[in-house]
């Protein structure tokens, strides 16, 4: 389509309220929203020159059929509805494969209170969104998997108000991800939408963690971080109170609004998969106050080991897409999270790689409670326009949104910058920039990426990529026996890998549930299981191995998987079918994880 981005759509990071699910004055706008499809050439959203059309459906006018000669030819009031949160693809059969523009509209009543500010919080909207409240454009956002907030203060009035959101799910060459990816492009308001009211000066961001000095030792219970108060004068007081840990302190904001603190907890149990202890942490400043639930733990590398609270761990993991088991569609409710964590526990996993983009916040909240460690990733996937500064700005904004939302989750131990990017100087420079930003924002976590730039020389497998120098933990994806190599080569291959903790971040093969045959026959459960068995032989010979991540927990939809009967629009590499039934390979990994026969922490 050659759509150009408006300047506003390129606007990088904007206000993002942390801990929205723990705030006092939140009104859900989930439910039924009217919708109208803006089919190509998308003139309701874009003018002929590609600018955002503020005079189109955003006006939310109604045709007056009693007078003429001209009327606007759309009407939300009589239009059908979609459930929010929810992708449009699985709600309206005609929109199943629709990758275009759709407008949502919803009326809501409110009473603005003086001395407060109100934000519209959107958990995620895929891929670009443009938002008008009472006909005024309040914000634009690019990126399908991270939250954002639009300030509505001064735009709302007492009584009935309305919000119109144009969501554009077109793939963009210069998007993150770009146009090619192996998952389904679910469009729409895919996560919760709410109105959040806060005092004029309010806590918009905070970071409360176990102090992460190079000298951290088990027994050190110093907590540190910051509370950011937006709109506060320098010197504003902030209190951090964690009664159960017997930690309480006050600090004052600096010129940027940050109140940095450090406090010793008199009584602290560290968070770990065996004991996922969370503490109620109350933050207050002026009239603003919120209570989050936060766990405290230390994660670091030591040579080729990964240490959690000073103890070596092996990450028994699996990959997971944010697609709802059984019903399909984007995963975005408590039931989806409960079902997926049920599968993870059944597999005996202690870790999950949330692919290839940040998932619903329920997933990291549940991981905190259930004691499952998390790898969280931004969608720098395959071919990104690495040379373009404006694409870097988008990626950097997504990184910040991801870190900001989840930095208070003990479960998240790894920030992943990318998946399967080609070894080119511009790629490495781009990711080096992101790695530096991530470390600066959050020095308490480890940085990783999933690579696939390995090569074969004789019986050797070699991974040499300058990207590995930037990482704390190196991830590598390989599909021996499926996309290349012979399955049995895994028994004898000798790997030359960086001397860093190493995670086999993807491996596997497709199998259609219930399709049986000899191990030489593709898409059978037997062949998938056979490939897994040989992978386990190989894993035992990689000294740096600190984690294994089968690709993937569940079969998932992908528009590129079009072999009838075997695939039917699904990537069939799941250990489980898309409706949660186990294939033979599931039992292999379940047993290996239960008996700890794969990898050693030390
Ligand atoms: C990969 C990608 C993953 C794909 C998978 C596959 O290497 O990282 O997103 O879905 O291979 O099944 O081809």
- Region of 480 please: left (phi>0), alpha (psi -120 to 50) or beta: beta
Number of H helices, E strands in the chain: 7, 33
* Ligand 1 atom nearest residue 183's Cα: 10
**Looking at per-residue confidence, does 9 or 241 come out higher?**
241
pLDDT of residue 64: 84
Mutation to probe ligand 1, out of 319, 422, 571, 578 (largest number of atoms < 8 A from CB)? 571
CB under 8 Å to 458, separation ≥6 — which residues?
none
Q: How far apart are CA 372 and CA 375, in angstroms?
A: 10
Greatest distance between any 2 Cα atoms in the chain: 81
Tell me phi and psi for residue 439, to 5 degrees: -65, -35
559 Cα to the center of ligand 1, angstroms: 13
pLDDT of residue 9: 39
3-state secondary structure 228-293: EEECCCCCCEEEEEEHHHCEEEEEECCCCCEEEEEEECCCCCCCECCECCCEEEEEEECCEEEEEE
* Residue 390 predicted with pLDDT over 90: yes
Topology of the domain covering 217-297 = Immunoglobulin-like (2.60.40)
184 Cα to the center of ligand 1, angstroms: 13
Mutation to probe ligand 1, out of 321, 551, 558 (largest number of atoms < 8 A from CB)? 551
Nearest CA to ligand 1 atom 10: 182
What confidence tier does 472 reach under pLDDT thresholds 50, 70, 90? very high
pLDDT digits over 562-591, tens only?
999 999 999 999 999 999 999 999 999 999
**Across the beta sheet with 202-210, what order do the strands follow?**
202-210, 222-230, 258-264
- Same CATH topology for 7-198 and 307-595? no
598 Cα to the center of ligand 1, angstroms: 22
What confidence tier does 486 reach under pLDDT thresholds 50, 70, 90? very high
What confidence tier does 71 reach under pLDDT thresholds 50, 70, 90? confident
Nearest CA to ligand 1 atom 7: 477
Q: Which long-range contacts (CB under 8 A, 24 or more apart) does 242-245 make?
A: 242/279, 242/280, 242/281, 242/282, 243/280, 243/282, 244/279, 244/280, 245/221, 245/279, 245/296
List ligand 1's pocket residues with C-beta within 6 A.
182, 356, 419-420, 477, 506, 551, 571, 573
Q: How far apart are CA 549 and CA 551, in angstroms?
A: 6
Helix (H) or strand (E) holding 525: helix 525-539
* Ligand 1 atom nearest residue 182's Cα: 10
* Residue 439 predicted with pLDDT over 50: yes
Domain ranges across the chain: 7-198, 217-297, 307-595
Nearest CA to ligand 1 atom 4: 182
pLDDT of residue 4: 35
pLDDT digits over 167-181, tens only?
999 999 999 999 999
pLDDT of residue 11: 42
Bridge-partner residues for 151, per DSSP? 119
pLDDT digits over 204-258, tens only?
999 999 999 887 888 899 999 999 999 999 999 999 999 999 999 999 999 999 9
Residues of the chain above pLDDT 70, percent:
98
* Residue 14 predicted with pLDDT over 80: no
Topology of the domain covering 7-198 = Jelly Rolls (2.60.120)
Topology of the domain covering 307-595 = TIM Barrel (3.20.20)
* Ligand 1 atom nearest residue 450's Cα: 8
């Amino acid at each position: 389509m050659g759509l150009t981005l408006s300047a506003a759509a390129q606007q990088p990071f904007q206000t993002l309220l942390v801990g929205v699910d723990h705030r006092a004055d939140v009104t859900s706008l989930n439910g039924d929203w009217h919708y109208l499809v803006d089919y190509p050439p998308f003139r309701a959203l874009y003018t002929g020159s590609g600018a955002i059309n503020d005079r189109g459906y955003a006006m939310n006018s109604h045709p007056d059929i009693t007078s003429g000669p001209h009327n606007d030819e759309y009407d939300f009031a009589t239009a059908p509805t979609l459930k929010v949160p929810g992708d449009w693809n699985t709600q309206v059969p005609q929109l199943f494969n629709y990758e275009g523009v759709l407008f949502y509209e919803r009326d809501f009543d409110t009473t603005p209170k003086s001395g407060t500010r109100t934000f519209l919080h959107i958990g995620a909207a895929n891929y670009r969104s443009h938002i008008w409240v009472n006909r005024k454009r309040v914000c634009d956002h690019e990126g399908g998997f991270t939250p954002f907030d639009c300030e509505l203060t001064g735009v709302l009035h007492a009584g009935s108000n309305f919000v119109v959101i144009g969501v554009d799910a077109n793939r963009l060459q210069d998007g993150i991800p770009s146009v090619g990816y192996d998952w389904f492009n679910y469009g729409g308001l895919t996560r919760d939408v709410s109105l959040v009211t806060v005092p004029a000066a309010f806590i918009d961001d905070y970071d409360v963690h176990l102090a992460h000095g190079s000298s951290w030792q088990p027994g050190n219970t110093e907590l540190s971080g910051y509370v950011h108060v937006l709109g506060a004068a320098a010197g504003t007081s902030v209190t951090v109170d964690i009664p159960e840990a017997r930690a309480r302190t006050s600090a004052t904001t600096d010129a940027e609004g940050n109140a940095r603190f450090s406090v010793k907890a008199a009584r602290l149990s560290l968070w770990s998969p065996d004991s996922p202890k969370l503490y109620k942490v109350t933050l207050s400043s002026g009239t603003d106050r919120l209570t989050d639930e936060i766990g405290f733990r230390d994660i670091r590398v030591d040579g080729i080991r990964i240490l959690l609270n000073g103890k070596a761990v092996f990450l028994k993991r699996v990959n997971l897409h944010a697609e709802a088991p059984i019903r399909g569609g984007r995963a975005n409710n408590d039931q989806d999270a409960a079902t997926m964590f049920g599968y993870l526990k059944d597999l005996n996993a202690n870790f999950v790689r949330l692919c290839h983009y940040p998932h619903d916040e329920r997933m990291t909240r549940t991981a905190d409670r259930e004691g499952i460690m998390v790898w969280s990733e931004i969608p720098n996937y395959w071919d990104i326009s690495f040379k373009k500064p404006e694409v870097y700005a988008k990626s950097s904004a997504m990184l910040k949104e991801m870190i900001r939302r989840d930095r208070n989750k003990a479960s998240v131990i790894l920030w992943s910058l990318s998946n399967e990017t080609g070894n080119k100087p511009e790629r490495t420079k781009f990711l080096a920039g992101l790695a530096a930003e991530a470390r600066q924002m959050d020095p308490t976590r480890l940085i990783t990426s999933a690579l696939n730039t390995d090569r074969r020389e004789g019986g050797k497998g070699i991974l040499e990529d300058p990207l590995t120098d930037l990482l704390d933990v190196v991830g590598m994806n390989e599909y021996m026996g499926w996309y290349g190599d012979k399955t049995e080569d895994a028994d004898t291959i000798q790997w030359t890998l960086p001397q860093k903790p190493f995670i086999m971040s993807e491996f596997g093969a497709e199998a259609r549930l219930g399709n049986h045959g000899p191990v030489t026959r593709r898409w059978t459960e037997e062949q998938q299981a056979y490939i897994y068995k040989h992978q386990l032989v190989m894993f035992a010979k990689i000294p740096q191995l600190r984690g294994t991540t089968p690709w993937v927990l569940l079969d998932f939809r992908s528009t590129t998987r079009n072999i009838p009967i075997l695939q039917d629009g699904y990537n069939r590499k799941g250990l489980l079918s898309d409706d949660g039934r186990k294939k033979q390979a599931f039992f292999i990994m379940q047993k290996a994880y239960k008996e700890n026969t794969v990898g050693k922490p030390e």
